[in-house]
């Protein structure tokens, strides 16, 4: 008889080998399919660690941004990830990626999000559904929603980077 514990999927490693100068935080998926890879393409400055915490990769000084989908399982996984990271990793916050195009959240999910916010000291950002991404387009300035631009500014400020388009940078 197979051992069910040994058959549990391991927390997978993302692209930790791509830690380079210009990496200021880690994107950490609370669960598979959270949106880590897409966000790492949309917002420069972070590295995609898949579902591993920076400390698991020996990156003790790298803060983390946890990413989850806005469904019940995603929010529970985000709280679990915050609990695991509590003592070992500086959490910049949580990005909740919409799991459906609708903006209105059922009451049970609104309550779950409220509980989840507490695990991240209210540093929670929501990213809406982006149909272009669903259809296979890579994130770009032409299809990134306002919330992505706002999140970029927030994260860059949190790690003390000059904002893109500042006084010494040309706008395109």
Q: What is the pLDDT of residue 164?
A: 65
pLDDT of res. 15:
46
pLDDT value for 165: 61
Which domains does the chain show, CATH number per domain?
21-158 (3.40.50.300)
pLDDT of res. 162: 79
Low-confidence ranges of the chain (pLDDT < 50): 1-17, 167-172
**Which pLDDT score is estimated for 72?**
97
pTM (2 decimals)?
A: 0.83
The per-residue pLDDT for 18 is 56
Provide the greatest CA pair distance for the chain.
66
């Amino acid at each position: 008889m197979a051992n069910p514990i040994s058959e549990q999927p391991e927390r997978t490693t993302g692209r930790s080998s791509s830690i380079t100068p210009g990496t200021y935080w880690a994107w950490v998926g609370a669960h598979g399919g959270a949106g880590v890879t897409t966000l790492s393409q949309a917002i420069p400055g972070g590295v995609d660690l898949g579902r591993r915490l920076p400390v698991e990769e020996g990156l003790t000084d790298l803060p983390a941004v946890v990413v989850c989908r806005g469904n019940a399982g995603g929010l529970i996984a985000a709280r679990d990830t915050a609990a695991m990271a509590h003592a070992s990793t500086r959490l910049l916050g949580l990005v909740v990626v919409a799991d459906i195009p609708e903006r209105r959240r059922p009451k049970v999910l609104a309550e779950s999000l409220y509980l989840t916010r507490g695990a991240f000291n209210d540093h929670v950002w929501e990213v809406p559904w982006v149909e272009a991404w669903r259809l296979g387009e890579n994130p770009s300035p032409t299809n990134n929603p306002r919330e992505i631009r706002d999140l970029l500014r927030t994260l860059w400020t949190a790690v003390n980077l000059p904002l893109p388009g500042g006084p010494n940078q040309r706008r395109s």
